[in-house]
Amino acid sequence: MENEKQFPKVDGEKKKPWNKGLTKKTDKRVLKNAQNKCGKNHPFWKGGRTIDKFGRPWLALGTNERMLESHYIWLQFNKLTEIPKGYEIHHINKNAQDNRIENLQLLNKTEHRQLHFKIKLNKNPNAKYFGRNKR
């Protein structure tokens, strides 16, 4: 009994957590910074348009939402909320950054793959495989 540590007991009082009971949802300082520095209010905002390593432009739609620019333009023009299942947007002139509505075409996946296979076959008629992984 003598070797055991004795802790002072406080009647009915719990030990306060390190953050004083504040969370991200209740701390006014965190909320203030989060609301002021999102999207257009962030100092590094560049208009919400970024280009990935494949040269395709993406649009920022919300806090954690983004969409290919060509898909967004096609959906807005056709007054739809999503691309039909099994279909893809094709760029007629093969330029992924040219998102004029005249250049966008809706194709099913099979037609889209066949079209791109024919394009690659025209460039290299002796090729046997056009995939990413050559095994």
Q: Is 97 within a domain?
A: yes
**What is the predicted pLDDT for the residue at 86?**
93
Model pLDDT for residues 9-62, shown as the tens digit of each residue: 556 666 777 777 777 677 777 666 666 666 777 777 777 888 888 888 888 877
Residue 109 lies in a domain: yes
CA–CA distance, 91 with 48 (Å, rounded to integer): 22
- Checking if the pLDDT of 133 tops 90, the result is no
In a domain? residue 13: no
Determine the pLDDT at residue 63: 66
Instruction: Provide the total of helices (H) and of strands (E) in the chain, helices listed first.
Output: 3, 5
Print the domain residue range for 57: 49-123
106 in a structural domain = yes
What pLDDT does residue 103 have?
92
> Does 35 reside within a domain?
no
Task: Using alpha carbons, select from 80, 83, 77, 39 the residue that is nearest to residue 59.
Answer: 39
Do residues 54 and 96 make contact, with C-beta atoms less than 8 angstroms apart? yes
Let me know if residue 24 belongs to a domain. Answer: no
User: For the segment 51-100, what is each residue's pLDDT rounded down to a tens digit?
Assistant: 888 888 888 877 677 888 888 999 999 998 899 999 999 999 988 889 89
Residue 132 has pLDDT above 60, yes or no: no
Does residue 20 lie in a domain region? Answer: no
- Report the domain count for the chain: 1
Compare 5 and 126 and report the one with higher pLDDT: 126
Q: Is 31 within a domain?
A: no
Residue 8, pLDDT above cutoff 70: no
